[in-house]
Structure 1
Amino acid sequence: MKRKLTSILAADIVGFSRLVEAAEEATLARQKELRLSVFDPGIKQAGGKIIKSTGDGFLAEFSSVVEAVRFAIAAQEAVRAEEESVPQDRQISYRMGLHIGDVVVDDGDIYGDGVNLAARLEAAAPTGGICISAAVRDQIVGVMDELFADVGELTLKNISRPIRAFVWPPDQGGALYTATTPPIEVTSKKPTVALSAFEALGNNDDAKMLAEACNHTVEAALANLTGLDLIALEAGPDHIATAVFQASGNQVRATLKLRETSTSATYLTQRMNGDLSDPFVAEDLLSGEIATTIRYGILQRIAERAAETETNDPEAMLNLAGHYMMGSQPEEWEAAGRLLDRILTLQPRNFMAVGMKANTLIGELVWGYRPIRPEDIEAADAGLSKAVSLNDQSDYVHLIRGIFHYGITGDLDAAVRCVERGFEISPQFAQGHMVLGWIQNLMGQPELALKSIKKGSFSLAKNRIYHRVPQALAQTYLVMGDFENAISNANRALQNSPGLPVAQLYLASAAGQAGLPDQGVRAREALLASDPDFRISGVRRFHFQDPTRWGAILDGLRAVGLPE
């Protein structure tokens, strides 16, 4: 049995089955063209040869590891350039893995641990990127090692030992991650939380029953979350939540505390009030507030730590990206997008990162009024479809799909179905109630919208995302013709989030429709100061089922003198 030391490159098309199903002939034709124009001549020039071809990839070997790496980078850049003119969801992208090792040679084929390792590194590579072993990296030191980011030790399928790996991941703009980019740790875990038994002070039996009922309801809500793991107290959680209930007559107060076990610090305390005259309503209200506060309180704590320490842990970066996306400024959403790109280079199947990245592309629907670029709509649609296929049990992903229908397709019935699917997973989902209110407002149901928005508002009162509540109320009151409340809530939204674009729009329209010249001038000047190029004709259409409602909002903008 003949053996030799060689450089092995494994390459594979990402999502080949999906591409073929969507456009078989076009995909196969472009795959053949890439083979003839990029891979065959490039491999030959680098002194290598293709050992075998598979339906969606190939295995090649090279006598020089430096030439193998040079070929891999050049090939990935060439493929990306060739596919730029193709719609994003139809583009061909490759993953590549490269290892240098001892192989068995048999009748023109090669086998052994070195081949297996190259194949597993390929599977770990980012879309359009290359994953190399430490053995390869050692051979390119001083030549091109600075192009690869150290990602630490990976646990690869069917490989018994951890493998030190390095990655060449082009970011969305085509630049490379260099040695100055902080390494991304791919071995991370979700934050864990445990509930300490909720208790009631005093001898009020109703309060005791409510504490116990809320404990069970909150436990069920947290168990369904995809971003947190609910575990037992004795299992050593990262965070512990406890709540104490007190009653006086029909009034009940619950005080929630969140404690971080690593520091023993109580970092969040929040009081919530309910009415014992209807125990079931009190349970729904208080358990919703408690579950939501635990959810966002923990994630905000992690995000703050991530911002302070510049962590490279993917779960922490996810939470930091989420923290940015609770804001209303384009710069914050762009920063979130960059974090998500870093995660997706190494974890392309991270459903939450995929869904959040899609959300960043259509963030204007949440906080702005400008049109969304067609290419961003297409990429967001594809990303949301992928996120749902990766995990159908995420309330967040279904919510963003609902927002997509609300703001892009205008299919409001589909938007409602998406939000309701989120409620099936997490009935206490506060953001879901708020977004349902947005949709109901467009459907001509402002009274229902008010109820939905207010239902979500109780749970979001101390959250960074809270500005979206008065923002939504401002739109609803504007549609109802209650301009006083529309103005009041638009101002509240702007106090919570200065410069919030869509709140400025609602404020100007409400002042114009109400015939308030002084307020109209102030609102107009504030909007133009934030957006000097503002034109009414450039405002994205909001999909009201009754077009006269949207026409009235635009007429309000004209009334304050905003340029057409």
Structure 2
Amino acid sequence: MERKLVAILAADVVGYSRLMGLDETGTLTRLKALRREYIEPLIEGYHGRVVKLMGDGALVEFASVVDAVACAVEIQRVAAQQNFNVPENARIVFRIGINLGDVIIDKDDFYGDGVNIAARLEGLSDPGGVVISGTAYDQARNKLGLTFKSLGEQRLKNIAEPVRAYRVLLEQAPSARKLRSRRPLIGAAALFLVLAAGLAVVLWPRAVALLQDQSSTISAEGKPSIAVLPFANLGQKADQDYFAEGLTDDLITDLSKISGLLVIARNSSFSFGDRSLDINEIAKQLNVHYVVEGSVRRDGNSVRINVQLIDAKTGSNIWAERFDRDYSKIFVLQDEVIGRIVEALSVRLTEGEKAQIARLPTRNLEAYDFYTRAEQKAYVIDFTSLGEALSLYQKAIKLDQAFADAYSGYARATVDVLGFDFQRLMLSAVARQRAYQAAGRALELNPQSSRAYAVLGILQMLDGEIDEALASVRKAVALDPNGAEAELNLAIVLTYAGQNPEALAAMERVLQLDPKPRAQVYDYYGFVLYMNHQYEKALQALSQVQPEERSDLGLEALAMANARLGRMAEARDAVAAILKKIPAQNLAGFRVVYAHHRRQQDLDHRLDALRLAGFPERAFDFRAQEEDRLDAEAVRALTGDRTWTGRQNNGAPFVMELSANGDFALSSQGSIITGTSTLEGDLFCTQSVATLLGRKFCGPLYRNPQGNRETQDEYVWPDSVTVWYFSVSQ
């Protein structure tokens, strides 16, 4: 019989017999739907193959143990999401075990100890958890940024030798919340919050604030300016609101592609959803000449849309029409409405614009429905909504694997997962890879996808590929000349490219397109002004945000601008507010987090001002005497095959195993982080995919004058997020 080495995933449902006893039909229906809609696509996406289904259980093979572990974690996450609104006694919860082992192949089935070990490890798992064997751990530990807890050697039924076992440590299910409320599991993950706090504004804010002094309702280029207000849902079902919002979104998106118009962004238009103001006042606030408003009623497969184009200066209707169509003709209907608006405003389309607007996004209306729902969820950036958006995008893609807009939407939402550090939704390393893959697939299907280029530009910027990032975001702007998001991402990349005047010009364009943005993005505007040495204007912009709404980036800009102006009390107050939220923040860590600045002078411009404002150089303001700093030879003597044992700054014990080949495993407070270590002169450097987006952090080691071997604190290692006191053994 044939044998081969594979990664085996064994899973079963906790309390399956009890669930069947309570509601046999409902349990089977929900379990099949969960497998069909979520688990099977995940397995396929990670190149797995279902070997057998056994009622409440399954055996799955993977060629890669890394894929098997990542898939298992995502299955548990999806299952947890689907249980949010289900009574506790009716929830479908899985246990999962994974082993890398030798199996016997008999046609399409597997046998042998390799399979049996996976099944026994599944029995060791907590409900909703994942346990893997030592062989699987050895291959996966440095690949995904996961943390593990060793369960030691386990005696498994009918297995002759003890088996090493490790539990994958999944976070407790979080509530819907913004990034700044999150706290790390242990210190070594904390500094990612700094990056994420910036990315929460930098990566995908839906708008940018501006202190405006504009008065003309015709754009500087002499183009007609127009806003599309949210269409009212006149249907009987409140749950059809997403359809009305989706129709509005599609009209804004298509009009934005027309270079002969200036189109106000979604965020600003949707701020007038309640219609408490008359059209003239709305037009004044949005600084536009024309307004489109309307209503939609969907009843089964029938759709009725009323649309009117209004001259806001006179209050008169330029054009109004009612459309009654079958839902299957929804894209034709949208093209008709766009055509009438363009005709009424005497705007000429280029051939490229005509082709883009006429392009059919999908022929599968069910996929389009899922996509429309996903788009509305994606605008609410919290854990639950973003998870639902990702799931809906995946459903759309499953129904139409040539749906470019669904891929680009999934890519953007995945970057939000990365930026907000929603590890419970998706591992950071996985999110990064999937964002690249989805954006790439979107461009394969539609080389004119502005959103995909914008996502690609942000990812390239984070990877330090600034020239490539600039090319991508400029392409995004060219393809979507009225796209506030594309223009914003151009401003972001220009800032990190060191082209600060150009970044500010791009921001002014963003603000023209989106005059009613979310409050937090004033923080980014203040930061761009700071980078342009316009400190007073930066403070003016930042003053538009309520203190409780201000992000970490806004607090940084507040500290920096005040420090440059000599207002040290205000600067120190801003620093104190940052440290109150995350006490371990420090300049050494920021130097790594913001390392994608192309120009050293720009990075120094940030860090020098924060230093002037009183920001600590090291975590918890650690300071040491220079004579206690270890030289290169002394540092080398502490590394290699060594074990560091001691405590963190907060008193939590830790153990760090260092190997001669440079691998390390750090265990503290029930978590394990793995990576590589190197020496650069007298600096000790660590790198792990679990922290700092996988970037390297280097720092000195010190003797502790007050330490001794008995208290295990002879040496001190201040890293990016905490201070480690330790002694060394072989």
Q: Which TM class, normalised by the smaller chain length?
A: 0.3 to 0.5
TM-score scaled by length of structure 2: 0.38
Greater RCO, CA 8 A, separation 6+: 2
- Could you say which structure has the higher helix fraction? 1
